[in-house]
A = this chain, B = another copy of it.
Amino acid sequence: MSHTVIHKGENCNFVPMLPPIRNVNTTPNNGQTVFFDKPVHIVAADAVVGKKEAEGPLGNCFRRSKEDIKMGEKSFERAEILMLDEAIRATFTKARPVVGDAQLLISGDLLNQMTTSSYVARNLNMPYLGVYSACSTYTESISLASTFISGGFFDTVACATVSHFATAERQFRYPLEYGCQRPPYAQWTVTAAGACVLSSKGNGPLVKSATLGKVMDFGQNDLSNMGAAMAPAAMSTLEALFKETGTDESDFDLIITGDLGKLGSDILRDLMREKGHELGKTYKDCGCLIYSVNQNCYQGGSGAGCSASVFNNFVLPRMLNGEYKRVAYLATGALMSTQSCYQGETIPCVSHGIIIEGE
């Protein structure tokens, strides 16, 4: 019998150390990427999800789920508010012993005029900035929070976002009561809220850079086919991210997009292949991860809460245990409204990407 002593934690080091990302921008910054040289830690994160999400393949990741889609409230909109409020307060509770109270909330959601975020902020007595880039809202808010922290303006900033299947269907497509059929290329809006607290203090994975997206529109105009519309925006930002941080797919343990779904992520693979990048097994999509094929969600999940909950409760724990050392997270958003589509417009999309590294 061998007496080799395995030191606790050694097994976590199976991911080789990666060369540092570097700023290849000239001065002045003529690219899309900002670098956070002063540390920005993700010190706490949590999510609240609905029943369908809790029953999916990531069910074990989510400790907070709601059985009832109305969550005991009188409307779906009230339920969405309740869910976001709970996610934020749970995250604050985790962060408070480590870094104290957050000094600023940056949040956004899919409802008209972002009422969910505003109604939650009303009860929090802290400065609030509303941001909107549809399902890319979470990476936009993390980018801004990191700018505030790395620039020395605030020490601790909270980010949050939410989506709810029933409110999104009513607003963007048809009220559930109509019983409309969904086309096979449709995605299912995830019922989930996610929040995180970022700080210059404490510990946790580091936000290293943010690549701010350009608005892309390849002419798609079907409100049910978001994946195809958003894939070009993800391509644009991922290409800029690679170029401006001096990396390619081999420098990441995980490249994860927000909610392109099966169809959209296949398109992204093809588009990136044309650009000379074979994403392979490094690439995953939050919309593909959250539901299994037998849950009848067709192409997978969508909605601002999709990637926020998957990033918080699937990706971050795997960064903390060392499985992922460096992750590129690109949430993707479709920026149309029902009215713009009724008026014959195509769907402009955007994707903001961040690079996160283990401590």
Contacts from A to B (Cβ < 8 Å): 28-30, 32, 34, 75, 77-78, 100, 103-104, 108, 110-115, 118-119, 121-122, 124-134, 140, 143-144, 147-148, 150-156, 212-217, 335-340, 343, 345, 348, 350, 352
| B113 & A132 in contact (Cβ 8 Å cutoff) | yes
| A335 & B127 in contact (Cβ 8 Å cutoff) | no
Contacts of A216 in B (CB 8 A): 122
Contacts of A338 in B (CB 8 A): 112
Bound CA–CA A214/B102 (angstroms)? 13
Contacts of A352 in B (CB 8 A): 129
How near does chain B come to A166, taking the closest CB pair, in angstroms? 13
Bound CA–CA A354/B148 (angstroms)? 16
| A213 & B127 in contact (Cβ 8 Å cutoff) | yes
| B28 & A155 in contact (Cβ 8 Å cutoff) | yes
> Out of B77, B131, B337, B350, which one reaches A115, CB within 8 Å?
B337
Query: Which residue on chain B has the smallest CB distance to residue A237?
Result: B127
Bound CA–CA A195/B214 (angstroms)? 18
Contacts of A140 in B (CB 8 A): 129-130
| B343 & A75 in contact (Cβ 8 Å cutoff) | yes
Bound CA–CA A213/B124 (angstroms)? 12
Q: With A77-B340, A119-B340 as given contacts, are A129 and B212 in contact (CB-CB < 8 Å)?
A: yes
| A113 & B28 in contact (Cβ 8 Å cutoff) | no
Contacts of A34 in B (CB 8 A): 148, 153-154
Q: Which of A125, A126, A215 has the most CB of B within 10 A?
A: A215
Contacts of A155 in B (CB 8 A): 28-29
Query: Which residue on chain B has the smallest CB distance to residue A36?
Result: B153
| A111 & B337 in contact (Cβ 8 Å cutoff) | yes
| B133 & A130 in contact (Cβ 8 Å cutoff) | yes
Q: With A29-B154, A147-B147, A348-B119 as given contacts, are A337 and B112 in contact (CB-CB < 8 Å)?
A: yes
Contacts of A343 in B (CB 8 A): 75, 77-78
| B115 & A112 in contact (Cβ 8 Å cutoff) | no
How near does chain B come to A136, taking the closest CB pair, in angstroms? 9
